[in-house]
Amino acid sequence: MAHNNGDTRINLNSNDSSFSESGIDRQVHEIAWKAYDTAVGAANDVTNRLFTSPAVGNVLGGAIDIVLRWQRFNAAVAGAFFAALWPAVGLPSASDVEAIRIDVRSMREELRDAVAERDAVKSPAAARKSSAYQFPGWPQWPGKDVAGIAKDVGH
């Protein structure tokens, strides 16, 4: 300790090994880990006691039953609501959209086969070049030249 103008103060020097920063940091680190271990152990003990309690099991079992019933009720109400709303709005159902996709896919295949047959009659070399990727799904797409699109496909 040093005396300055009658005041007693503690001088901490970096040379003083009992108050080095690394020693304090190590002690704080050890205390923090001990506190963490204690908290985790207490939480683990409380959780184990809670979940082995028959009362908690009964409450959680009843809650799961209530949640599942509520989920079925919501699904039924939503189905009835949208079944009445969908035709009123005029939007197609998912099955209608899927049927249209299947029809479009079959039309593309028919078109590809017809073009391949036509090219085979004209010249056998042109029939080998024919590909489904050379024909866009909608040739009237605005702003695009169909011949230009067919050249760039796959490159």
pLDDT tens-digit readout, 70-123: 999 999 999 888 888 877 888 888 888 999 999 999 999 999 999 888 888 877
pLDDT of residue 1: 46
**More confident site: 150 or 39:** 39
Whether the per-residue pLDDT at 56 is higher than 80: the answer is yes
Which residue in 88, 55, 138 sits closest to 149, CA to CA? 138
As a whole number of angstroms, the distance between CA 87 and CA 35 comes to: 63
Backbone angles phi, psi at 2, to 5 degrees: -120, 150
State pTM to two decimals: 0.33
Which neighbouring-strand residues pair with 112?
none
Other Cβ atoms less than 10 A from the Cβ of 23: the count is: 11
pLDDT tier at 130, thresholds 50, 70, 90: low
pLDDT confidence bin for 36, thresholds 50/70/90: very high
Domains of the chain, by residue range, sit at 20-89, 94-152
Cα 52 to Cα 36: distance, rounded to the nearest angstrom: 24
Measured between alpha carbons, how far apart are the two ends of the chain, in Å? 83
pLDDT for the residue 155: 44
- CA 38 from chain center: how many Å? 36
Percent of the chain with pLDDT over 70: 66
In this predicted model, which residue has the larger pLDDT, 47 or 9?
47
Task: Give the per-residue pLDDT at 126.
Answer: 53
pLDDT value, residue 69:
96
For residue 134, give the nearest of 153, 118, 113 by alpha carbon: 153
Here the tokens at position 105 are 């896919």
Nearest Cα to Cα of residue 127 among 139, 112, 137: 112
Structure tokens at 95: 């099955």
Residues forming beta bridges with residue 7, ordered by sequence position: 4
